[in-house]
Chain A
Amino acid sequence: EVVLTQSPATLSLSPGERATLSCRASQSVSSYLAWYQHKPGQAPRLLIYDASNRATGIPARFSGSGSGTDFTLTISSLEPEDFAVYYCQQRDNWPITFGGGTNVEIK
């Protein structure tokens, strides 16, 4: 199974700052990587699919990049509603796997 390692585990930032989240795969997943935002008590929300494509309704401050084994989610300027846990997920290999998550918290 493909193991996705997310770093850092916790990112402490202030509103308006730039957030850079990393996801590294144990083997190539091509560009078949998605990013989700998850807030406590809510359903996860698809942000990015196929490494760099924003899902419907996702603001332009969210962007994804990478291919192969190294991927990045960037939030250009944090809004108050962006503080949450972020997960990457691959679909290139069975089974579908998720990373352990990065908690973006208010500094």
Chain B
Amino acid sequence: EVQLVESGGGLAQPGGSLRLSCAASGFTFTNYDMHWVRQATGKGLEWVSAIGTAGDTDYLGSVKGRFTISRENAKNSFYLQMNSLRDGDTAVYYCARRNWGSGGGFDIWGQGTMVTVSS
């Protein structure tokens, strides 16, 4: 079964850190760009970060310099290291696969992991 499973969410204080993980299975992980998308409570979806098959990375402006995306192909996993967390980072974080065979749409998503930033 093709799936993505996130882990690592939780409660962090402002200025603190968390590391999210996303484990992929059921497909050739090395063939796909992988992304993080978040959703604050009552808000819409917001793209956060991406990592390409060659390890190239991209970030939303508001997280650049604070978040770092990485991948570990041997473990079919990728990660989001979140430092200097702010209240505004509170959200459900989804990992997603981008499929150029589907016009670059996000065709597989995880169930999401909750990140709460609060003192």
A-to-B contact residues, CB < 8 Å: 32, 34, 36, 38, 41-46, 49-50, 53, 55-56, 87, 89, 91, 94-101
A-B contact count (CB 8 A): 61
* Total contacting residues, chain B, CB less than 8 A: 21
B-to-A contact residues, CB < 8 Å: 37, 43-47, 58, 60-61, 94, 96, 102-107, 109-112
Chain B residue nearest to A42 in the complex (CB): B111
Chain B residue nearest to A100 in the complex (CB): B44
> Chain A contacts of B111 at CB under 8 A?
41-43
Contact status A91-B109, CB under 8 Å = no
Most buried by A among B102, B107, B112: B102
Contact status A98-B106, CB under 8 Å = no
Q: Do A53 and B103 contact each other (CB < 8 Å), given the known contacts A89-B45, A98-B44?
A: yes
In the bound complex, CA of A81 to CA of B56 (Å): 38
Chain A residue nearest to B111 in the complex (CB): A43
The SS class assigned to the A binding surface is loop
Which of A36, A43, A95 is close to B112, meaning CB atoms less than 8 Å apart?
A43
> Chain B contacts of A45 at CB under 8 A?
109
> Chain B contacts of A50 at CB under 8 A?
103
Chain A residue nearest to B45 in the complex (CB): A98
Least distance between B94 CB and chain A CB atoms (Å) = 7
